[in-house]
Amino acid sequence: MRPNRSSRRAAAMRRVPPRVVATAVAALLALVAVPVLVSLQTGSSRAGENHHPAAPGSDGSGDGTGGAGPVTDVDRDFLVKVRQAGLWEIPAGRLARTHASSEAVKRAGRHLIDGHAKLDQLVREDARILGVTIPNEATAEQQRWVREMENARGAEFDRLFANVLRASHGKIFATIGEVRAATRNDLIRRHARQANQTVLDHMEVLEDTGLVEPGTLREVEEAVTR
C-alpha cells in the first residue's frame, strides 16, 4: 500500500533540520513586520506634519508678553519713544524734499523716511503683542521742531534740520544701548537691535551734511552723561 500525499508531506517535514525550520519562520515574521513598521512610521511622520509649535502668547496666559519674557517700565518707555520719534521725524524727512537746498540734507531726509517707516511698523506690531499702549502724537517739543522747519527754507532749513535731528538721534542712541543691555524680553532685544542700526545710519547721514555744529554734540554729551 502506497502512502498518501499527507503522509509523504509529514515524513518530508520530519526530515527537515530544525535550524532550517527556525530560519524560515524568522524570515516569514520579518516580512510581516515590515509593512506594520512602515505604517507606524508614516503615521508618526504625519502627526509631526500636523503639529505646529504654539505661537507666542497662545498658551492662554494672557500676560501680554507674547511669551518673549517680562516687560519692564524701561521696555515700555523705549517703545513709546521709538513711536514718537517716527511721528515727527518722518514729517521732517518729507520737509527736506521741498525745503532743503543741500542734496546731502535731502538724502538724509530720505533715510529718515525709510528708516522710521520700518521702525514704526515694527513698534506697532511689538506693542500689540506685548500689550503696551503707544501714542499717536509726537511730544509738544517734537511738534514745535516740525513747525520751525516748516517755516524755514534753504540754508536756514538745512542747518536747523541737521542739528535738531542729530541731537535727537544722539540722545536716543544712548537710550537704545541701555535698553538692549538690560532687557529680558526677546522682542525688545530684536527691536533695540533694529533701532540701533537705523539710528546709527541716520546719525551718519546727518553728519555727512557737514552742518552739525560742535555745540550740538556737546548738548548730546551733557544729556547722556547726566
pLDDT tens series, the chain, 226 aa: 455 555 555 444 455 455 544 554 444 444 444 444 344 344 433 333 333 333 333 333 334 555 678 999 999 999 999 999 999 999 999 999 999 999 999 999 999 999 999 999 999 999 999 999 999 999 999 999 999 999 999 999 999 999 999 999 999 999 999 999 999 999 999 999 999 999 999 999 999 999 999 999 999 999 988 8
Distances (CA, A) of 35 to 40, 48, 49: 9, 20, 21
* Nearest alpha carbon to residue 135 among 64, 79, 187: 79
pTM score of the predicted model = 0.70
Residue 92 and residue 112 in contact, taking contact as beta carbons nearer than 8 Å? yes
